[in-house]
Every structure is written in structure tokens, then in C-alpha cells.
Structure 1
């Protein structure tokens, strides 16, 4: 509690801390389950929850201007992502009219079988996402194409969507170009590539496990029920309406090259948009400037006579992104209001004092990240808010700072797309055409990664220590390069680690 002039500012009580969240959850449950589909969006529940959060802030001594400042701070931090989201709408339209996405669908149907579709699709999407550092860009371009390929091959749409999400987030987490990757390293005060190295230790094995699961599911697809006429109809409709010269696939290569050259996200996407428009002019005969502007703004209106193709190509456009952007603005504002009134600090602030094991600390960090994803509606808050709550505890247990950054992403990034009211969930739901609760059970990378990381931590394995030691999956502790950390924090963590080793509470280096 602190005295701010004439006002006394305090943390909310537990009841006050949970009140805005309970309000939001109850309204979300009503909207998505009991509204008879008269209203099925998260916008109004969030507006009411923001009002409740501001009321709690006022009860705790915050003025409305302070609460508004908290919301604006979060919105400011999210503006670049919102601008990128607008340009992704342009990119999807550009890749539609250029023939790039239609060509991916066409050649995918010709080359892939129902048995190979899931594992190969997951790998290809992961490669695109790794190159561009964005799960949003990957799902909005090649992901849309694979959703249509899946229909043509008779694959369950939810299973295809789960595969798309898995591949997109693998690439996003491994990529040093990803905003969440850089954010996790930054808030944990560790090196970017130290963080990426730690990420590989959890996401790598889970990716392999997921590919095996997708391969098994693919081998069990009942080809007796597969109707080849659907795929043939899609191919014929695409061939009749687009020039499918293999050269129209080059805009995807441009995305990869732009990212390899480390062009920042926003200009990188715009370069890809311009490339798509040029290919539309060269290969698809799109010469009317007004038509191109209309398609980029409002999305393409392509009628091929095939319902699957028409539905697949009715994506993109800056205007079509506004529903999602409105939701993101409200969700981030709600998160900023909760952050300002001290909700997370009240709920989780004292938990870390009761944690005395690596497994317990990893679990607490993950639960806090997921809570922030769901309650504060933003993956950036799911990463940024827990970091300062737990960083000193990681030092106390002799852990490396990239252990913290890895844990933040294992949960905060991967589970953010599970909730339909978060920025990630809203975007992916709009692109993939289904509620996140429908596809998430099949997004095996996202689903299993936190579970895998938590289990191995409780087993005392897959742990990065402050002095550079690493305990692998076989329980062998080997010395590697120490992860970057603030100097004083690093010295303290190493001294704590030596103390724990002396007491037999931490493994000694064996090689």
C-alpha cells in the first residue's frame, strides 16, 4: 500500500482481483453457449469487463486517468502487431489474386496423399513460419491453402487446422525474427540465441512426437470414404480461373528471402504484398488499379462455381481484419487495466515463496502465463507479466535465465491461441474458420509442449543451470555455454547453484 498525495493506492483483495475476470468468463460462457447464436463475439463481454476492472481500480485508489494510462501503455506496445495484422490482410489478398495460394492448393492436391498430408504439411508450414518469424503470416498464406487441400483429400477440417497451428508455432518459436521470441529473451534478460537454444530442448522433441502422431493419424485415414471427385473439382476450378504456372509460387520465396535478410516485420510484409500484386498483373491479367485497390481493401470476390474453392479464396483484405483488430484493442485494453490495478501481483505474488523445486517453479510460471493469456487476453502479457514475478526465484534456484524465457514461451505463446477471445485466438479463428476450442485438441505441438516441459522439469531433466551446465533427458549433467544474464543476478544464481550442489539438491557436472 502506498500513499499518492491525497489518495491511498493499494493492491486489490482476492475477491476484487478475480471480479473482472469472473465477469468476463461468465459473459463469455453465456455468449458462446446460451445466446442462441444471436450474438457470438467476445467484444461486448470485454467492454463490460473493462468497466468492472476500472471500477476495481477506482476502489483501490487509482484514478480513471491512471487506469486509462495503463490501457494506453499496453495498446502502444501492441500497435506494431496491429499494423502488421492490417498488412497481413493485404498480403492474403495479394497472394490470392497473384495465383500463389491457388497454385499451392493445386499442386498440393496433385502431389500429396491423405496419408502424407498431415506430417508433410506440418513440416512445410513450419519452414515458412521459421523463415518469416510469424505464425500469423504462415497461417494466413500457406495455412489457408492447406485447409483447402485437406478438404480435397477428405481430411477432417479440425485436424487440418490443428496441424496448421502446430507447424506455424514451431517455426514462430524457433525463429529469431519472431516478436514473441525476442520479447521472451528481453523480459528474461538473456541472449536471443541462448533463448532459441533453450526452446529447441522442448519444442524440438515435441515437434518430432507430433509428426509421429500426425503420421499415425494419416495412415489410419479411411481412404474408402475419400472422394477423389472433390479434389478433381477443386483442381479443375482453379485451373479454369488462374494461370497456375509454377512461377507464381515465387512470392513465397520472396517472403523467405526478405526474412533471411532480416528486413523488419512491417516493411517485410509490405514487400511481399507488392510482389504479390506484381505477379497478379503479370500472370493473372489484373491491370485495373481500382480493382486491385478494391481487392486489397475489401478482399477478393472470386466465383469459380466450386463451393470449396470460393470459400477458400474468400479470405483477406484489410477491411476483413477490422473485426479481429477491434477485438485485439479491447482485449489488450482489458489486460492493461488488470495489470494497472495489480490483479496478477495479488493472485500470484506470494506463490513463489512457497516454491522450492525446479518442477514447481516451471509449473507456477506456466500457470501464470496461461492465466495471463486467458484473463488478460494477450500473449505479450502472458510473457511479459510473469517474468518480473519469477526471475529472482530462478536465480535463487540456480537456474539460467534462458530457462525462464523458455518456460514463458512454452506456455504463454503456445496456449495463447487456444482462447477465442485473445488476439491470437481471434486471428487464427478468423483465418481457419473455426473456434479455437475445435482445432486446439489437434494442435499437438501447442497442446503437448507445456506438458512435456513440465514433466521433464519435475523429473529433474532438461534443465539449464546458471553456470552453463545442462541436465539432459538421460539425467546426465554436462557443461555448456552459460546463458547471458544481468551480472549481479548471474553471480547470485551461480553461488546459489554451488550451495545447492553442496547440499545435494542440484546435480553435479559429470562431463
Structure 2
């Protein structure tokens, strides 16, 4: 019996761009004006449909396209399950009094002038401890949004500060999923990767703190109405037992992370802690059914202060479903684009035109940002460019942690800048502010790729295959060599020796 096999081919450039252009055009329609619709879900569904049609045109069966989407969904399921449990965590921290206490004491301790730089540091510490920007914004981030409003500070500015701090902590944390992913796909060590990230995100965070301090000193304090803060505190004190002991669940999160408990059980331990503290300290007479309702649908708080009720109307597993639906669609769209060949067609030949460290770093970051925006997921913003450019880093004599650092400098930090990505949708839903509004004030996320590219074009802040490092002052000093696959390291070392002999790569400083 003879079977006819249809040849599978790569799409041409126009075919590769069609699903992306359709999706982006629909996103601009939805988010760029008064469309009457405020979600990214329907544009993504149409984008997936178009990508499948292009795949079919190029010889793929629907089963093959579906397999590509399911592969990507399978890789993202742990993050989705964690997102569900984060909804439980927020609810438990609301009814335990932990988040209300953070707001209450924060209004006592912070002034409009100190709020932004101190807030960025504190959010960063929580993000570092728990290894998750999402958990940081859903707990202390929500508290700071309310504190900022009580101090008369623009919600967009506060959200930008919270995002900056949360993502610095996330990037520096060895517990972070994106930190581990970037190291893994680059073939380097986790702590080699973290060390490399400090060289870009560290200086940028200092710049951001200076900018936040300047903005804080110039905040128009006439907008600060102390009666708003006093009203918030009175309402919280009347409805919650705000003993400092209810802040201990935050410490539990930190301990769980320091002990390197995996993400899902770690969050569930924190949820259980919040529930126990609610039963011990808040004396609300919760039944088991009440607790199930609160964890599932979120707390229904009626404090008598409309501002507080709106600010604390967060949490619950059901509250996360809008974002989870979007993540499922976004990841499916990215998987469909990969499977139909759009990614290979658009980026496969670019690296052949790269001949300098600066252009390689810039191209890697632009590809990551493109994948964030077009494929709607930060994991794809990290995972797609890595195999495309890894051998080019070797050919230029670079260390593999230079690749991993570059992937995070853009792929992680810019994913939150688009409201249709998984990260952007989550943060918009959590903080109540569109990424388009907080974008100008998320200084770490905004400036990190610019700083990294500028340094690379200047021939500075570069990690080489032999362990040498050209710092931001242009001096090349020897440090510990980063882990790399054996063959990749051999190629990189040969390229490094040839580059130094030709005077194209700096010698060690004397």
C-alpha cells in the first residue's frame, strides 16, 4: 500500500510574519484605544488559528501543530500550578492580617520622600528570598500600592517601583525559575549565571535607587493628605488584630526559600501558615466552609472604608483564572509559532551577520524582547534565543554565563512590559495598573538592556571563556571560569586565543 507524505517546509518570511502581525495588530486594537474589550485572550485565539493555518500550508498536520502547543504547555504547567497557589497565599495573608499589618506599619514608617527607594529595596529583599517576582508583588507589592496611595504618590510610579524591586530580587535569587532556566539553556552553572547578572543588574539597580530618591525628594507633598493615611490605619485597626506577630508569615516564606523547599510545597506551607494565623489572631469564627470560600474566591472584606475594601479585594484561586487562561493561550501561541517554523525562518540566518560582542549581545536581547512580545511568554523569551546564538558566543571566545546573563537582561525583564504576556497580565491583574502606565517608572526593567548593550559595544563588562573579565572600567582581570559544555568551552578557548593574538580581544591587565 502506497502512502502519500506531504513535504514539510519552512514558511517564507511573509508567511512566518503573518500570525505575528495579525496577533500584534489585534493587540494594538484592543489596548491602543477604546475597543470595548480589555483582554488579550481573543487576539491570541485568532493568532493561534492563523499560526495553525500557516503550519498546515507548510505541510504540518493539525496533530503536529497541537503537539507543539502541548509541548510548551507541559513545560509551563508547574508555573501555572504555582500561580493557583499564589491566589491561595494572597487570601490567607489577607485574612491572617499579614498584608493589612504591612500596610498599617508601613504608613507609620515611610514618608513620601523615602517611600520609593526604601520600597524598592524591601520588595527586592522579598523577591530574593522567595525567588519569585510574582509572590513579591502579590504580597508586599499589594501592600506598597496601598501605602503609596495613602502617601499621595502616583499609582503608576508606585507600580514601577514595585516591579523594579521584585524583578531585581527574582533575578538574583537561585530559587527563581527564570534564573535556573537561563543557566540551564545556556549550559552554565547557576551561580556563574547569578555572578554575571550582578555585573549588569547591580549597577542598574543603584541607578534606579538614585532616580527613585530624586523623584521622592521632588514629590509634591501638597498631594499628601494625612487624613487618607489615618483613615486607612483606623479602618485596618478596627477590623484586624495588627499585633506585630502577624508579620511572621513573611518570615516563614523566607525560611522556606532559604531551606530550598520546592516552589509548590513552599507556597502551600506559607498558605497553611496564613490560615493558622488567621484562626489564632483574628478571632473571626471561621468555619471550614468559610475558609474554603475565602481561599477559593478571595476574602470579602467590608471595613467601612471603600478605599481599603478595594485595595484588599485580592486573592483567591478563582481570582487567578483570568491570568491562567491568558497564560495557556500565550504559551500555546508560542508553541504554534515554533512548530510552524516562524522562529527558524525569522532568526535562523541573523547570527551569520554578527561579528562583534556588542552586536551579538544587542541581537540576543532584541530577539528575547521580540519573543516576549510576539510569543507572549518570558520562558520563550529565554528558551528560544539560547540555541539560536549559543555557538556564536563560543565563536567569539565568550563565557556561557555571558549568554545566560544576556537572556535575562531582556527576556525576563521586558516580558512584564507588555499587557498581553503572561507576566504583564499577571502584574496588571495583581497591581491594578497597566504595563503601559508603569513602564516609564520601572527603571530596572527599562534600563537594564540599554546598559548591557552599551557596555558590550564599549568592550566592557564582558565575561570571557577562560574566566577573565573585562570590567566596566576596561580592565581585564582573571576570575573563575564559568561552567560550559566541554566542546563549547574548547571552541571558545581557541577563539579567545586567536582573538588575543590578533589584538581583537583585550589581554589581561598588568
SS in 1 for 2:60: coil
1:339 corresponds in structure 2 to 338
Q: CA–CA distance in 1 between the matches of 2:151 and 2:307?
A: 12
Match of 1:279 among 265, 277, 280: 277
- 1:225 positional shift: 2.5
- 1:263 positional shift: 0.1
1:181 corresponds in structure 2 to 179
Could you give the per-residue CA deviations for residues 66-94 of structure 1, whole angstroms, max 9, x where no partner exists?
10000000000000000000000000000
SS in 2 for 1:508: coil
Are the counterparts in 1 of residues 393 and 400 from structure 2 also a CA contact under 8 Å?
yes
Instruction: Say yes or no: does 1:14 pair with 2:13.
Output: yes
1:303 corresponds in structure 2 to 302
- 1:9 positional shift: 1.0
Point out the more displaced range, 378-387 or 282-291.
282-291
* Runs of 4+ deviating beyond 4 Å: none
1:422 corresponds in structure 2 to 421
Residue correspondence of structure 1 range 26-105 to structure 2 within 5 A: 26-34=25-33, 36-105=34-103
Q: CA–CA distance in 2 between the matches of 1:109 and 1:497?
A: 55
Instruction: Say yes or no: does 1:192 pair with 2:190.
Output: yes
Are the counterparts in 1 of residues 415 and 423 from structure 2 also a CA contact under 8 Å?
yes
1:364 corresponds in structure 2 to 363
Instruction: Say yes or no: does 1:133 pair with 2:128.
Output: no
Q: CA–CA distance in 1 between the matches of 2:4 and 2:165?
A: 53
Q: CA–CA distance in 1 between the matches of 2:340 and 2:474?
A: 43
- 1:37 positional shift: 4.7
SS in 2 for 1:103: helix
- 1:331 positional shift: 0.4
Could you give the per-residue CA deviations for residues 381-401 of structure 1, whole angstroms, max 9, x where no partner exists?
000000000000000000000
Residue correspondence of structure 1 range 56-455 to structure 2 within 5 A: 56-286=54-284, 287-455=286-454
- 1:304 positional shift: 1.0
Q: CA–CA distance in 2 between the matches of 1:484 and 1:335?
A: 30
- 1:38 positional shift: 2.3
2:483 corresponds in structure 1 to 484
Instruction: Say yes or no: does 1:508 pair with 2:507.
Output: yes
SS in 2 for 1:52: helix
Q: CA–CA distance in 2 between the matches of 1:91 and 1:5?
A: 54
SS in 2 for 1:478: strand
Q: CA–CA distance in 2 between the matches of 1:225 and 1:138?
A: 27
Aligned residues: 507
- 1:360 positional shift: 0.1
- 1:506 positional shift: 0.5
SS in 2 for 1:125: helix
- 1:348 positional shift: 1.2
Q: CA–CA distance in 2 between the matches of 1:292 and 1:312?
A: 21
SS in 1 for 2:322: helix
Could you give the per-residue CA deviations for residues 332-375 of structure 1, whole angstroms, max 9, x where no partner exists?
00000001112111111111111100000000000100011011
SS in 1 for 2:504: coil
- 1:33 positional shift: 3.1
- 1:224 positional shift: 2.2
- 1:289 positional shift: 1.3
Are the counterparts in 1 of residues 40 and 326 from structure 2 also a CA contact under 8 Å?
yes
- 1:30 positional shift: 1.5
Distance 1:288 1:499, change over 3 A: same
Q: CA–CA distance in 2 between the matches of 1:438 and 1:342?
A: 34
SS in 1 for 2:46: helix
Q: CA–CA distance in 2 between the matches of 1:337 and 1:63?
A: 12
Q: CA–CA distance in 2 between the matches of 1:258 and 1:180?
A: 19
SS in 2 for 1:221: coil
SS in 2 for 1:253: helix
Are the counterparts in 1 of residues 29 and 35 from structure 2 also a CA contact under 8 Å?
no
Q: CA–CA distance in 2 between the matches of 1:111 and 1:253?
A: 19
- Unmatched segments (≥5 aa) in structure 2: none
- 1:308 positional shift: 1.7
SS in 2 for 1:7: coil
Q: TM-score, normalised by structure 2?
A: 0.98
SS in 2 for 1:470: strand
2:458 corresponds in structure 1 to 459
- 1:5 positional shift: 7.1
Are the counterparts in 1 of residues 150 and 229 from structure 2 also a CA contact under 8 Å?
yes
1:474 corresponds in structure 2 to 473
SS in 1 for 2:175: coil
Please give the root-mean-square deviation of Cα atoms over the aligned residues, in Å: 0.9
Q: CA–CA distance in 1 between the matches of 2:494 and 2:202?
A: 31
Are the counterparts in 1 of residues 44 and 329 from structure 2 also a CA contact under 8 Å?
yes
Q: CA–CA distance in 1 between the matches of 2:120 and 2:423?
A: 19
Q: TM-score, normalised by structure 1?
A: 0.98
Could you give the per-residue CA deviations for residues 50-73 of structure 1, whole angstroms, max 9, x where no partner exists?
000000001111111110000000
SS in 1 for 2:469: strand
